[in-house]
Amino acid sequence: MTHIDKLRVAIVVASRDESVDLWQPLFTLFRKHWPNCPFPLYLVSNTLSYGDMGVSTILVGADRSWSDTLHSGLSQLQEEYVLLWIDDHFLMEPVKAATVLGAVNALLRLGGNYLRLPALPQPDQPWNDYFGVISKGAVYRTSVVASLWKKTMLERLLQPGESAWDFETAGAARSDQYDGFFSTWRSCFAIENLLIKGRVRSAARRRIERTLSHAFKLSHPIMSPVEEAEFALRMVGNRALVKLPRRWAKRVRNAVLRRRGM
């Protein structure tokens, strides 16, 4: 990877002050599993900073929506591309750095708008050895999980007031106006999602603590057994959705948008 390409990409962790309890374990595992990451690492927050492990904090002031906070943070960055990371997504295994950097470099040479690095769902059409095309109308076309974005495209698709969950649904529909959306053939990161709607998944916390080799304190509430079961069922539904033929998956997505009034 060339020096100029490194300067074109930043890793941006979208967060806020109330997630301060996540930052130490999050960045500890990030540096453990990707120690030679060549890209600058930024944390977007409101008023609280994190200065350890080479992290630079971008402060945006009072907390608003996820999309508003992220948009304000992006406006302070000079890099052309951002690898978007969510503050409750913990790296669990060593990163296959050569594969990640090869895919990133291929997208930069192409000038693409978006690259989903977890391969879920997989691409619809072939493009190269690293990634394939995500067709217009595909569900989760704008997943926020470990995704590489041309910054101008991400800013264009963000809408005031939306949560990350809203963006993954409504943003996918808005992205149908544009080409240049891709997904890798294989997932590049092993990620554990700790929080669901601000509540801690107990099983995920135990796995993260085993990887850290120590416990950590959390101020977020714990999911109840009923909430854990509901989440498990929703994940079954999501996996089924991505396996549907595209025309049926798009109908389901549009029905969800109508229900939410989007």
DSSP states of 70-101 as a string?
A: HHHHHTT---SEEEEEETTEEE-S---HHHHH
In degrees and rounded to multiples of 5, residue 140 shows phi and psi of 55, 35
**Local mean pLDDT, 10-residue blocks, the chain (262 residues):** 67 97 98 96 97 95 94 96 97 95 95 93 92 91 94 97 92 95 96 93 96 95 85 62 56 53 54
The pLDDT assigned to 227 comes to: 82
> For domain 3-260, is the CATH number 3.90.1200?
no
d(CA 57, CA 12): 10
In a 3-state reduction of DSSP, which class is residue 190? coil
Q: Are the CB atoms for 28 and 100 separated by under 8 Å? A: no
Spans of all domains in the chain: 3-260
Check if the beta carbon of residue 103 is closer than 8 Å to that of residue 127. no
**Mean pLDDT computed over every residue of the chain:** 89
Those residues with Cβ within 8 angstroms of residue 20's Cβ, 6 or more apart along the chain or in another chain: 45, 48, 50
Where do we find the tokens 């619809």? 124
Over the range 123-137, which residues count as b (16 or more CB within 10 Å of their CB) and which as e?
Answer: beeebeebbbbbebb
Q: What is the reported pLDDT for 51?
A: 87
| Phi, psi (degrees; rounded to nearest 5) at 123 | -60, 160
Cβ distance 69 to 167 under 8 Å? no
Beta bridge partners of 55: 41
**Residue 89: predicted pLDDT:** 97
What's the confidence (pLDDT) of residue 139? 81
Digit-coded pLDDT (tens) for 41-58? 999 999 999 989 999 999
- Report yes or no: 119 and 223 within 8 Å, Cβ to Cβ: no
Place of tokens 């995920």: 204
pLDDT of residue 130: 96
pTM: 0.86
